Structure 1
């Protein structure tokens, strides 16, 4: 018995050490980013790496916020506005489609759902040119519409919410129908309130995908006023000279709020993803 407990403790210690090691490896780029942003420029590229700055300065942050050619607050607002708008529209369209695929019965339902899910296998790069031509003909290029509307349709969101909706007991809906509730009323008064974990998970995934989007905004806009955060960061090495201190300060300004938000909402992500597997 004593030997078995000793083996369990050793196994637990080894597993804990491995988890700590992997966590440290994952966290090291973030630590280097923050550390470099607090260093004078002459100390940013040095070997061996000094994780703790020998000389701490906030000059890089001051330069990014107050002295940059492009004010950091404008790209930050643009990315935040675009991501928030896409979240609202994605949750609306995906939840409605998922409700139809999971709770309603109509001819060709499974075939249509298969076609929707099959679009997940299409590489994003394949859609860039057709999407651009379509929006160009609609005169939406170089506008917020070009960055928001193409991202609203989410096959992944439909699949995620459908799996969750299938796990909701049908007895609740049958009782609501007996009381005279319409299909739409069941959707927004029963299905949506019970689906908060899945909706929260989808909202977070959608936010992160649109916040980090680079290729499509680079193609769809050419106005400084519409510049998003990833494109703003790319301007720091557009002319071949990279100021690492300023670049890391800018990255810290736009990354740390997202990391904090993710740490706060990670339980909602795990819960939402876990519960979507209740019934398939």
Structure 2
């Protein structure tokens, strides 16, 4: 009887029951910790940008207070609106032009057959192994010889090419069904019509994600604008924040207000297009 009771208990016990701390719980806790580590600096920046600076008067510490004067100071004392416009214009032009040419190059490398196609793609992919500091001086010499220093052209043209965009788009195009393109060719469409009418509309998720990546990278660009420009009218927002750090090193409320203004457009874009970013990662074969 005792053995029958034990057998009944064993069979009624759920097989494979997890303990109180399963692997899923551990991953959830880790995700929460990483999220807090990432979000807390942003929250500190936002809250501090609305505070006045702590001062000491007659030996007494005057605490901070809530104010909008930091943002008013940023826009009135320096041409910060001009800095924002420069960064927006440069980033937008680079993003649009790069997506147009990258998508054409990726479609050709994925679908068209021509001699040396694989070698050409290998050469493009190999540029990912070359870091930016390695080509900084040669690129500066080329831009100087072409007379593009202190110009929008010098800021935009060298930043258009990006092997990562071509690689990601090519991987996406390789996963598209060939039947749609073959049907269009049978109907009399050429390569350009197939690309423009079929491939591009189907590429909206990946193009949206790349648009965010390109825009964010160029919005945060610092080294190349610092090297290629000296004109104040061409100063981008990151250089403007750096000048704030040198001029108002003790007034962190002004610096954080400028940083908040610069970060706000990127946060808005990310929250708007986060679904497209996730879909592009799933559909491009990257796991």
1:63 counterpart = 2:63: no
State the shift of 1:74 in Å.
0.5
Change (3 A) 1:231 1:221: same
Please give the residue correspondences for 1:173-192 in structure 2 after superposition, counting only pairs within 5 Å: 173-192=181-200
> Which portions of structure 1, spanning 4 or more consecutive aligned residues, are displaced by more than 6 angstroms?
none
Partner-residue secondary structure (3-state), 2:54: helix
Q: Distance in 1 between matches of 2:247 and 2:82?
A: 21
Match of 1:111 in 2: 119
Match of 2:4 in 1: none
Change (3 A) 1:240 1:38: closer
Structure showing greater radius of gyration is 2
Match of 2:177 in 1: 169
Match of 1:47 in 2: none
Match of 2:201 in 1: 193
User: Which whole-Å deviations, capped at 9, do the CAs of 1:69-96 have from their partners, x for residues lacking one?
Assistant: x221111011000000001110111011
Match of 1:29 in 2: 41
Change (3 A) 1:216 1:242: farther
Q: Distance in 2 between matches of 1:22 and 1:115?
A: 37
1:274 counterpart = 2:286: no
> May I ask how many residue pairs the two structures share in their alignment?
268
Change (3 A) 1:85 1:227: same
2:227 to 205, 219, 223: 219
For the Cα contact (< 8 Å) 2:52–2:67, is it kept in 1?
yes
Please give the residue correspondences for 1:133-144 in structure 2 after superposition, counting only pairs within 5 Å: 133-144=141-152
For the Cα contact (< 8 Å) 1:236–1:243, is it kept in 2?
no
Partner-residue secondary structure (3-state), 1:238: helix
Partner-residue secondary structure (3-state), 1:271: helix
Please give the residue correspondences for 1:119-138 in structure 2 after superposition, counting only pairs within 5 Å: 119-138=127-146
State the Cα RMSD in Å: 2.0
Q: Distance in 2 between matches of 1:20 and 1:7?
A: 20
Q: Distance in 1 between matches of 2:254 and 2:216?
A: 23
State the shift of 1:11 in Å.
5.2
TM-score when normalising by structure 1: 0.90
State the shift of 1:18 in Å.
2.8
TM-score when normalising by structure 2: 0.88
Q: Which moved more, 1:110-119 or 1:234-243?
A: 234-243
Partner-residue secondary structure (3-state), 1:207: helix
